[in-house]
Structure 1
Amino acid sequence: MSSAPPTIVESVGGEAGDGLLLFDADCPFCRRSVRWLLAHERPDSRLRIAGLKGMVSRRLGEHFRIDFDRSDSIWYFVDGEPSRNSDAAWRLATRLRGGWRQLEWLRWIPRPLRDGGYRFIGDHRHRLSPLGAPRLEDHPRWVDRLPAGLCHRCGLPAELADEP
C-alpha cells in the first residue's frame, strides 16, 4: 500500500459526496480557488462541486428559494443547510488537511468583518486572476445532477434526488 496521499480521483471512487460546493464556474479566480481547495482536502473528504448556473443549482434554488443565477457567492451544502460567503469559507476550511485546517479559526471573527473581507475579495476577484484558469466541468468531483447518495450524505431531502 502506498504511503502517498490519495489523489483526488482516488479519493472520489464511486461513493457519493459528503458536501456540495456551488461556485461561479465562469470566474477564473473562483476556479483556481476550488482547484486549490480540492488539492488540499483531507484524504477522507468527498466534496462535490457544481456551478451556480447549472441544473444542480436550479434544483437546490427552487427548494431553498435562492436565486443562484443572481448570486456571486460560494454556497456550501452540508448537514441539510446552505452556508454562503465567509460562513461557507470557514466551514470548507474544516475539510483541509495539515496546517491549512487552521483557517477554520475564521469562524471566531465577527460575521460582519468576515463577510466584509469576503466581499472585498469577491469584488476584486477578476483582477486577482486575470489570466483565466481551466474549466472544472470535466473534473471528477463535478456533478451535473443530484444522485440520491449525495443528497443523503449532504442531508438534503430525498425528493431533490434525480434518481431513487
Structure 2
Amino acid sequence: MSSAPPIIDESAGGEAGNGLLLFDADCPFCRRSVRWLLARERPDSRLRIAGLEGSVSHRLGEHFGIDFARSDSIWCFADGEPRRNSDAVWRLAARLRGGWQRLEWLRWIPRPLRDGGYRLVGNHRHRLSSLGAARLEDHPRWVNHLSAGLCHRCGLPGELADEP
C-alpha cells in the first residue's frame, strides 16, 4: 500500500477541498500525523492543510477571535465551526478509509477523558518523534490562502475568502 498522498488536480475540475486542518507545521510528530492521515483518507474526503502560524490561520483567527499561532491544538473546519483537540480527532477519523474509520468511535468517550488523552500525547509530541519529518508547505493539499470555493465547502463565510 502506497503512503503517497492523493493529489487533487484542480485544473481538471477537482474541488479544492471539503475540510481544512490547521496544525503545528513546525512539529515533526504533527507533520508525520498529517501525512499518515492524508495517506489513509477516503477518496471523497479532500482535506486541505495549513500551519497554525500562517496567513490562513491568521485570517480565520481574526474571524473567530482565536490566536491560532499561540495554540498547540489541531483545528478542523468542515461545517463552519472550529473543532479542536479530540473533537477534531474523531471528525478527522470519520474521513479515513477502511478499518481506520472505526476510530470515529472516540466521540462516544466523554470529552474530558478524550481531551485528557489528547493532551497527554500533545504534551509529549516532541519526544514521540525523535526523527525529523519533511515539511508540508509544498504538499499539494497545503493552502496559503482561502478561496471562495474552499470557504463554501468548509461552511465558512464567503467574506473570509482572500479572492472574490
The TM-score range, normalised by the shorter chain, is over 0.9
Paired residue type of 2:30: C
Q: Distance in 2 between matches of 1:30 and 1:7?
A: 16
When the two structures are superposed, what TM-score results if normalisation uses the length of structure 1?
0.94
Unaligned runs of 5+ in 1: none
Identity of aligned residues (%): 80
2:57 paired residue number: 57
1:77 paired residue number: 77
1:112 paired residue number: 112
2:101 paired residue number: 101
Q: Distance in 2 between matches of 1:132 and 1:114?
A: 27
Paired residue type of 1:106: L
1:35 paired residue number: 35
Paired residue type of 1:119: R
When the two structures are superposed, what TM-score results if normalisation uses the length of structure 2?
0.94
Report the Cα offset of residue 7 of structure 1. Answer: 5.5
Report the Cα offset of residue 130 of structure 1. Answer: 1.2
The alignment covers a number of residue pairs equal to 158
**RMSD of aligned Cα (Å):** 1.3
Kindly provide the CA deviation profile for residues 80-117 of structure 1, in whole angstroms up to 9, marking residues without a partner as x: 11100000000000100000000000000000000000
Q: Distance in 1 between matches of 2:161 and 2:24?
A: 22
Report the Cα offset of residue 13 of structure 1. Answer: 2.0
8 A Cα contact 2:5 2:35, kept in partner: no
Q: Distance in 1 between matches of 2:62 and 2:5?
A: 34
The answer to whether residue 22 in structure 2 is matched with residue 22 in structure 1 is yes
Paired residue type of 2:6: I
